[in-house]
Structure 1
Amino acid sequence: MLAFLTRPSRLLPNGPIDAALQLVVVVIAYTLYQNTRGLINDQLGASQAFANADWIVSTERLLHLDMEAGIQSFARSVPGLSDAASLMYLNAQFSVTFGAMIYIYLRHNEAFGFVRNMFIGAWTLALIGYVLLPTAPPRLVPGLGIHDAVAEMTKVDPADQTSTVSKLFNPYAAVPSMHVGFSLMIGIPLARLSRHRVTKVFWSAYPVVVLFVVMATGNHFFLDGVFGALAVGISALVARRLGQLRPHAWQFGAREPVPEGAAS
């Protein structure tokens, strides 16, 4: 009688119950990540955050990777580019990411379990990073001459503690950069899953564009992005290992999509 709740269809590959379950899992995991991220913010950690930022600045200069000021200067010299980067920064981590996850679930369900597990692993590693390595973003570090492009565009002061958003906002959660991490976790899978050259190129380039965006807006150092990529790499290895435990559900591309003729 209730078979329709688990029966695959053209819209929901594994039926309504599975779709609801996956939604609940992702929403709970992301909510825990966001709320915990916002709580890891105290005055004692602020001094350490600036000390860690100074270490990153010194390391980048030693390795000749200190490109943030130059990238922001370029973005500000091109009419509209800085605002476009700010808009993308505001949307890349939530709208684009979760839109892509929904697309993967609906159109490439055989890869969704792997991608979901990778995200949960990366969120966990990110929280560990925020605790162990609180780091101020370039826009807050004195002497670098880097502007807060997002604040300039939106006219919203991120330091305003009276807003509801500020309660979930941690200005010292720069390492690892999960903007870069998220872009890799959707860009690489979608590039692999895409059948058309244009979309393959687009999703392959997407993480590079996001890396440019986070530096152009003054929100991350280059090395923040490197740490984000490292978190993704570790999470991908964990997701791959989990896929060996449940190959049918959690391996990337382990299952074939439901044939249209078999859908009801």
Structure 2
Amino acid sequence: MRRVRAVGDLVLSLFPGIGLLDMAFEEAGFCVVRGPDLLWGGDVRTFAPPAGRFDGVIGGPPCQAFSAMKRLNPRAGEKHGNMIPEFERVVAAAGPTWFLMENVEGAPLPDVLGYRVHAQMLRHHWVGGETSRLRRFSFGTRDGRALRVETLALCRPDPLPAVLAGGNGRAVPVAIGGSGKRKKTLTSGAVVRGGPNPGARASFADMLAGQDLPVGFLSEAPFSESGKKRMIGNGVPLAMGRAVAAAVRRAIGQSAEVAA
């Protein structure tokens, strides 16, 4: 029996978290295999992928060490340090046709021997989302082809603040570089969020909507609400992931491979 598959279909996901970027790639027809993650008791530092099995590698190493929010807490990111070298190590060992790394603007570009990287900055509302979230996507191939994400000709001029990770009702979440100290308004005493997006803390429903996720997402997951907020805030908005996955599809082409 003969089998036909699209080239580039089998993808390894590193630092998958709750898999928001993975969801977008799966919707685009990729088969995503999730690698180890501290969230689930795994550790990428002890992971050795099989060589020559994966067509692509995707992932977003922790960004706290390079985030603009680090100015609020210079010690942010010290626990795990710079994990981009682990991403680079796994890519080099797996030897895929292409790789995609998501991170903040201040993070270094991935550097893997034999690959050339094309990077593109992208805001969530440029691709139909509701927020101003900004991320850089670094696309690596051996021939240096470009990643061209299609953006809207007209996007909303007043995007909502980016969804941020939070926890336990803290005004400036430790998870994103805050002190964890509670801050109050002078009038109502309501908890507000510090940093670049002040105001009342977002509800869980608002965070789901801001990341393009349906009501009920994670409803069966055995995590506290603060834990769910942290995981959702650390993920790639679904609209952004979809636009990037479609761009990868275009970049790698739709040629087919026939196997016996």
TM range (shorter): under 0.3
**Going by fraction, where is strand more abundant, 1 or 2?**
2
**Going by fraction, where is helix more abundant, 1 or 2?**
1
- After TM superposition, the score normalised by the length of structure 2 is 0.26
